[in-house]
A and B are shown apart, each in its own frame.
Chain A
Amino acid sequence: MARVVIDPVTRIEGHLRIETEVNGGRVTDAWSSGTMFRGIELILRGRDPREAWIWAQRICGVCTTVHALASVRAVENALGIDIPDNARLVRNIIAGAQNVQDHVVHFYHLHALDWVDVTLALKADPAKTSQLAQSISEWPKSSAVYFKGVQDRVKALVASRQLSLFSSGDWGHPAYQLPPEANLLAVAHYIEALDMQRDFIRIHAVLGGKNPHLQTYLVGGMSTAIDGNEPEAVINPERITLFNELAARAKTFVQQVYVPDVLAVAGFYKEWFGYGEGLGNFMAYGDMPAGSIDDPAGFFFPRGVLLGRDLGTVHPVDAGRITEYVAHSWYDYSVGDQASLPPAKGETNPKYSGPKPPFEQLDTEAKYSWLKSPRYDDKPMEVGPLARTLIAYASGDEQVKNTVDGVLAHFNAPPTVLFSTLGRIAARAIEADIVVQKLPDWIAQLDDNMAHGDVRIHNGDKWDPESWPRSCAGFGLEEAPRGSLGHWVEIENKKIVNYQAIVPSTWNAGPRDAQGQRGAYEAALVNTPIADPERPLEVLRTVHSFDPCLACAVHVIDGKGRRYGHEAMAMPEPEGSTSLLPAPAAPVFGGL
């Protein structure tokens, strides 16, 4: 038996450590540990709830903006504020753009290199690559000359010794199965996606004033001026045209590049429809309201819970059934560490009891993560694009059902193959396709409101704290690209007295709970085949399929050296640190 440790898991934001037990070429058990602490909840105490979103969105720089939205929703819920229709639309457009951009970046820049061997792309025949490209898509950048040019640029990069972006791949690993031409095609689209994502996210720069970390949220709506007759207004007819152009270009890219690539790559890795299943429980709070945030029936992303792989019954979501355990997390609860607490009464009392870094192995019988273990009705849940897609599918959403059935028909496979590593990747592409088609609707509604003289975008009725009750509490739920996100706020005497966030990666990457139930990553890794314990590429495939974002789940560094594919039991001495980060004896807390 070998203990295979990956720390840090790279191509993510933040620090994640995965320990797996490997027997006979398969993972037999796994532990997921967030190795950074997030202190934003503590920083928010005592602050004006109207400014909470500015701080909260600094939880992460990748899924920027999602925490701003969850935060204003939480405060609006606590104070009983309805937002104007234009604010709803602008928020949907921002969130929809974030969803599409994040999914594209995830597939090409954070995940593709687990499936695509860049070194093999250099051996491809550009003419055959052109044939392959034209057989799967109408996308015009598909000539042999074009692929030759891409190949030359990658060769030049390799020759300059600056492998940079491509330096973390396991090149030559036996688990890479794409022919050279498919590798070159994917590398070409990796580069095109760099351009696409930066062009498309200009929607955020316009509607948010800047990107990342948009500046235009307000409790009660948005601060983006809207005026059809005012060239200086953020939203005017000229800007509507720009949004439509950006959305149209993104739609073409998603439909002609992203989706065909996912189908093509998946075709070479069909066995991965059989690995990485995990919990079989899925949850989505739902999002993208058609009207009030309190009317989930009008959500574009439906709300629901699926249990035990059963697509036949969509259970309702009752936010009151969400709790968090710290039995295996480096926190103290005043009610005892075996109990769970609802986030509305959540506590953030950090107490590190893990080994002093650098260390070989965590004591996974005890506490081993900075993430708590969120549970719904005491059950672990997977959240994210797969959960949303399955819940929409099981809810009978026509568009999702047709798209999913089309993908399943392509592979001649039943819906159960979606409970897998490839299922997560496919669901993300399906979702991007559906959202990018929805964006023009929201843009058109905004345009229509403007044309009819409805330019109201902020409800200031309860802006004055004198109008607030002496004490109140609320929560804001959202579907961020990576999954269900919730913020809980308690307000007393016009100040925040408690703030809690449960982010998607806490649901997915959290440790075991007091009953020993595994979190989603931990469950998904069991049974993963491992060809070479020194280079556990297969573990990365499943972990990356969740789109981990650990800066979100935890924050503040306790630095350790890079140990990648390290067999802890066989090699007692850790490798030297390649990181500039310090290795403190105890974790440090920023901003306190």
Chain B
Amino acid sequence: MSGPRIAVVGLGNLMRADDAVGMVALERLRMEFRLPQSVSLIEGGTLGLDLLHPLAGVTHLLALDAIDTGVPPGTLLRFAGDDIADLPAAKSVHLLGFSDLIGAMRLTGEAPREIVVLGVQPQKIAWGTQLSAPAQAALERLVDAALRQLEDWAEDAQVLPQLAAQESAWYW
């Protein structure tokens, strides 16, 4: 009905070290950049199918997550189009993961036109609230890649760095 709706969803468990890298990147986007109104930022956490409702009507979906494909920790990974089928299946401690969510959206006929998953290979996902050094180093690249993706999608994205002082609000 209306124009494109872009959503960025951060995925992962904030208590499982590098598993949280997508959530941390999402928070960076929220705190440090002024994104256009048409872009919504959604904390997906470990919600799985509960995300069906907030994602209904989204035309462009960018997911940020930790993805284990066995490459060196900190490697930035990008999945789009048919490649999404190659994402590792339900790796979450919850049964239904992101690929199930996308499957459910396809079945209900509500899958976004475009889905891009940006991820970082984790080093450790044991209990902890600190990113490992490789994941921390990859965070900047993940945020950059997310912004570039959003620029591609939203031509009018005026991505303005906000005051550095806002970094003090960082909860990590």
Q: Does B137 have its Cβ within 8 Å of any Cβ on chain A? A: no
Chain A residue, CB-CB nearest to B46: A61
Give the residues in chain A near B53, CB-CB below 8 Å: 198, 201-202
Q: With A61-B94, A156-B106, A157-B107 given, is the CB distance from A162 to B125 under 8 Å?
A: no
Give the residues in chain B near A161, CB-CB below 8 Å: 85
Q: How far is the CA of A156 from the CA of B49 in the complex (A)?
A: 20
Q: Judge whether A580 and B96 touch: CB under 8 Å.
A: no
Chain A residue, CB-CB nearest to B89: A167
Q: Does B71 have its Cβ within 8 Å of any Cβ on chain A? A: no
Q: Does A153 have its Cβ within 8 Å of any Cβ on chain B? A: yes
Number of chain A residues close to chain B: CB under 8 A: 35
Q: With A153-B107, A191-B108, A212-B50 given, is the CB distance from A164 to B102 under 8 Å?
A: yes
Q: Does B84 have its Cβ within 8 Å of any Cβ on chain A? A: yes
Q: Does A128 have its Cβ within 8 Å of any Cβ on chain B? A: no
| B-facing residues in A138-171 (Cβ within 8 Å) | 153-154, 156-157, 160-167
Q: How far is the CA of A221 from the CA of B59 in the complex (A)?
A: 41
Q: Does A12 have its Cβ within 8 Å of any Cβ on chain B? A: yes
Give the residues in chain A near B49, CB-CB below 8 Å: 109, 194, 198
Q: Does A25 have its Cβ within 8 Å of any Cβ on chain B? A: no
Checking A10, A162, A191, A557 against B84 with a beta-carbon cut-off of 8 angstroms, the contacting residue is A162
Give the residues in chain A near B126, CB-CB below 8 Å: 582, 584, 588
Q: Does A590 have its Cβ within 8 Å of any Cβ on chain B? A: yes
Give the residues in chain B near A12, CB-CB below 8 Å: 95
Q: How far is the CA of A211 from the CA of B46 in the complex (A)?
A: 13
Q: Judge whether B89 and A194 touch: CB under 8 Å.
A: no
Q: Judge whether B108 and A13 touch: CB under 8 Å.
A: no
Give the residues in chain A near B106, CB-CB below 8 Å: 153, 156-157, 160, 162
Give the residues in chain B near A211, CB-CB below 8 Å: 50
Chain B residue, CB-CB nearest to A188: B107
| A-facing residues in B84-124 (Cβ within 8 Å) | 84-85, 89, 91, 93-96, 99-100, 102-104, 106-109, 122, 124
Give the residues in chain A near B107, CB-CB below 8 Å: 153-154, 157, 165, 190-191, 194
Give the residues in chain A near B91, CB-CB below 8 Å: 579-580
Give the residues in chain A near B94, CB-CB below 8 Å: 13, 61
Give the residues in chain B near A212, CB-CB below 8 Å: 47, 50
Q: How far is the CA of A194 from the CA of B50 in the complex (A)?
A: 10
Chain B residue, CB-CB nearest to A202: B53
Give the residues in chain B near A202, CB-CB below 8 Å: 53
Q: How far is the CA of A164 from the CA of B91 in the complex (A)?
A: 12
Q: Judge whether A162 and B95 touch: CB under 8 Å.
A: no
Checking A163, A164, A588 against B127 with a beta-carbon cut-off of 8 angstroms, the contacting residue is A588
Q: How far is the CA of A212 from the CA of B43 in the complex (A)?
A: 13
Q: Does B39 have its Cβ within 8 Å of any Cβ on chain A? A: no
Q: Judge whether B82 and A160 touch: CB under 8 Å.
A: yes
Q: Judge whether B52 and A194 touch: CB under 8 Å.
A: yes
Q: Judge whether A580 and B68 touch: CB under 8 Å.
A: yes
Q: Judge whether B68 and A162 touch: CB under 8 Å.
A: no
Chain B residue, CB-CB nearest to A149: B109
Q: Does A295 have its Cβ within 8 Å of any Cβ on chain B? A: no
Q: Judge whether A164 and B103 touch: CB under 8 Å.
A: yes
| Binary CB contact string for chain A from 195 to 220 against chain B (1 if under 8 A, 0 otherwise) | 10010011000000001100000000
Q: Judge whether B47 and A165 touch: CB under 8 Å.
A: no
| Binary CB contact string for chain A from 548 to 592 against chain B (1 if under 8 A, 0 otherwise) | 000000000100000000000000000000011110100010100
Chain A residues with a Cβ under 8 A of chain B = 10-13, 61, 109, 153-154, 156-157, 160-167, 190-191, 194-195, 198, 201-202, 211-212, 557, 579-582, 584, 588, 590
A and B contact pairs by CB, cutoff 8 A, 7 listed: A157-B106, A162-B84, A164-B89, A194-B49, A198-B53, A198-B56, A582-B126
Chain B residues with a Cβ under 8 A of chain A = 15, 19, 46-47, 49-50, 52-53, 56, 68, 82, 84-85, 89, 91, 93-96, 99-100, 102-104, 106-109, 122, 124-127
**Nearest 7 A-B pairs (CB), nearest first?**
A164-B103, A161-B85, A198-B53, A191-B107, A164-B99, A164-B100, A165-B103
